[in-house]
Amino acid sequence: MTGSLGDHGAREMIESMPIGLVALDSTGHVAFSNEAVTEILGWAPEDLLGKQFHATVHPRRPNGTAYPYALCPLAATQQDRESRALDRETLWRRDGSRVICDVTASALATGGVTVTLRDAFARLELARAQDEFVGVVSHELRTPLASLLGALKLTTAEGLAEGQREMLIGLARRNADRLARLVDDILDLEKARVGALALTRMEMTGPSLSASAVDAVTGTALAHEVTLTSDADDMSFWGDRMRLEQVLTNLLDNAVKYSPPGGTVTLRMRKSDAEVTMDVIDEGAGVAPEDLKRVFDKFWQIDSSNQRIRQGSGLGLTISQAIMELHGGSISGTSEIGKGTCFTVHLPIRTMDLSVPVDLRTPEGKIADAPRPVD
Amino acid sequence: MRRVLLIDDEPDIRAVARVAIEVVAGWACDEAASGAEGLAAARAVKPDVVLIDMMMPGMDGVATAEAFRADADCSSIPLLFLTANGPGGDPSWLVDGVIGKPFDPMTLGNVIAQKLGWAP
C-alpha cells in the first residue's frame, strides 16, 4: 500500500468493508477473510484461516450433490488466472444453512486468488418486489385501458340498441378518468420512492384546510348520499398545503365510498402541544384488524369485487402515508366491525425545517414576513 | 344460437364483452363476477363456452377452471382464459385456449369460434 493510508489503515478498511473478502493461497486455502465474511457465512476469520475454502463453504451444489473443487469456477481462476463473476451462487454457512451470494474471483500476482462475496438476498428480494409491482401495475393499467378501447371501438358497431352507444361512451370516459388517476398516483409513488416528492411548506389554518378538503369530496358524498361534517380548531400550522389536502381528500373519499347511504363522515382537526391530529371518521362496515395493517400496501383494496370502491387506484393510502412521512408524521387507523373506521393523520408541530424549500405564501395568498418557527 | 358465459370481476370489461358478443357476434351472453357465481350460472344455463378472466380476487382463473374441470355437470364445457399476460405463467394446459387482453370486441366472436373450431 502506498499513500497516507498506510498498511494499518488499509487493513482496517478491508476488514470493515461491507463486502466479504477472502484471500486464498495458491492451493485454495484461506489466507485472510474479513468481518463481512463472518456475517455472510458464519465463519470467524481465525476459524476460516488455513481451511480449504471450496471444501468448507462450497462443498455441494444447490441440489445437495457433491461439488468437486476441480469443477468450481474458483478453481478455474486459480488455474487460468482469469477473473470470474458468479451471480446467485449457493454457498453453505457454518451452521449448514444456504446463502445465495454474488461471487467474484480474481487472480493475485502472488499466485493466490481474491474472492469477494455479497449476500444476494436483498438484491433478489428487491428484484422480486419490482417484478411483482410491474405485474400488478400492468394489470391495473390494462384493465381500464381494455374497457376504454373496447367501448370506443364498439360505438361504431352496427345494430346497437337504444342507449347502448351512450352507455359505451360513458364507460369509456369513466375508464379514461380512472386511467388518468392511476397514472398520477403511480408517478407520485415513484417520486416518493426515489425521494423526489418535495414538500412546499407554508402556513395554513385548520378551518381553511378542512374546508378545501371537504369541498373536494362534496360531489362524491352527494352521489353516495353521505353527509359530510367538519370540525376544526381555530389554529394554524405549517405543511405542504396541496399535499395535505391530497391526503385528506383521499381519506375522505375512501370514507365516503365505504359508507352506507345515509351515513355521516366527519373530519375533525385538533391541535396538541406536539402535533396536529386530523381524524377522518366513517360509519361504514369497519375493517378487520388484519386488513387494517394492509390498507397502506400498494394496490390493496378491502373488497376488490366492490365496484363502488374499485374506481380508486389502490395507491391512495400508500401515497398518503409517504406524504405524511415526509412531514415527519404518519397515518394510523382504528376500526370496529359494524361501527366504522377512523383514520388519523398525525402532523408533528416542530420548528420549521429550513433545509426544505419554503413557500412563503400564506393560504390567503399573502406573503409572510419571514420564515418563523411554528408556535 | 351460441351461448357464452363470461366470468370477470370487472363490470366494465363484462359490459364491453357483452356488447361484443350480443351485438357484434349475435350470440347470447351471461355474466358472472366470480368463479363461484360462474359455476352456478354454468349449471343453470349450459353455455357453449366459458370465458374466464385469469386475474380475479379470491378464486382466480386457474382455480375457477379447475373447479369447472372437476364439476360433474360442467367438466366438458369448453373454457377460454382471458389474460393480460400478467404474472402466473402459461396456464393454457387447463383450458381450450387463451385470449389476450385487451381483446378486440369487433372480432371477439370470430376469435372464440376459431379457438374452438366452430363453423363460421
Domain chopping of chain B, boundaries: 3-116
**B15 contacts in A (CB within 8 Å)?**
147, 151, 167, 171
Q: Is the dihedral of CA A258, A261, A267, A268 positive or negative?
A: negative
In CATH, the number for domain A121-197 is 1.10.287.130
The correct CATH number of A198-375 out of 3.30.70.60, 3.40.930.10, 3.30.565.10, 3.90.180.10 is 3.30.565.10
Structural fold of domain B3-116: Rossmann fold (3.40.50)
CB-closest option in B17, B23, B86 to A157: B23
Q: What is the pLDDT of residues B20-78, one digit of tens each?
A: 999 999 999 999 999 999 999 999 999 999 999 988 888 889 999 999 999 999 999 99
Which 246-305 residues of chain A touch chain B by CB within 8 A?
304-305
Contact A286, A341 (CB under 8 A): yes
Do the interacting molecules here have an ipTM over 0.90? no
For residues A208-235, average pLDDT = 93
- Contact between A171 and B15 using a beta-carbon 8 Å cutoff: yes
Amino acid identity, position A215: D
Give CA separation, A75 vs A20, A70, B69, in Å: 18, 6, 53
- Answer whether residue A363 shows pLDDT above 50: no
Contact A304, A310 (CB under 8 A): yes
- Contact between B23 and A164 using a beta-carbon 8 Å cutoff: yes
- Answer whether residue A282 shows pLDDT above 60: yes
For residues B4-29, average pLDDT = 95
- The neighbouring-strand residues paired with A276 are A271, A347
At A74 the pLDDT is 83
Find, in chain B, the residue whose alpha carbon is nearest to that of A151.
B16
Q: What is the pLDDT of residues A79-121, one digit of tens each?
A: 899 999 988 899 999 999 999 999 999 998 888 999 999 988 8
- Location of C-alpha cell 361504431: A156
Q: What is the pLDDT of residues A167-200, one digit of tens each?
A: 999 999 999 998 898 888 888 888 887 878 888 8
A138 touches chain B (CB under 8 A): yes
At A352 the pLDDT is 53
Q: Give me chain B's average pLDDT, please.
A: 90
Binning pLDDT at 50, 70 and 90, where does residue A301 land? low
- Higher pLDDT among residues A227 and A137, named by residue: A227
At A359 the pLDDT is 42
Q: Which of A45-54, A173-182, A355-364 has the highest mean pLDDT?
A: A45-54
Contact A301, A312 (CB under 8 A): yes
At A356 the pLDDT is 47
- Location of C-alpha cell 363522515: A265
The number of beta carbons lying within 10 Å of the beta carbon of residue A7 is 8
Q: With H, G, I as helix, E, B as strand and everything else as coil, classify residue A268.
A: strand
A127 touches chain B (CB under 8 A): no
Domain chopping of chain A, boundaries: 6-119, 121-197, 198-375
* A121 Cβ neighbours under 8 A, 6+ residues apart: A99, A100
- Answer whether residue A308 shows pLDDT above 60: no
The number of beta carbons lying within 10 Å of the beta carbon of residue B55 is 22
For residues A29-42, average pLDDT = 94
Distance from CA of A249 to the nearest CA of B (A): 25
CA dihedral (A202, A206, A209, A213) in degrees, to 10, reads: 150
At A350 the pLDDT is 66
- Answer whether residue A307 shows pLDDT above 90: no
- Higher pLDDT among residues B45 and A312, named by residue: B45
Q: Which among A286, A280, A262, A287 is positioned nearest to A338, based on CA atoms?
A: A286
A216 touches chain B (CB under 8 A): no
Q: With H, G, I as helix, E, B as strand and everything else as coil, classify residue A302.
A: coil
Lowest mean pLDDT among A178-182, A344-348, B2-6, B114-118: A178-182
- Location of C-alpha cell 463481512: A36
State the CATH class of domain A6-119: alpha beta
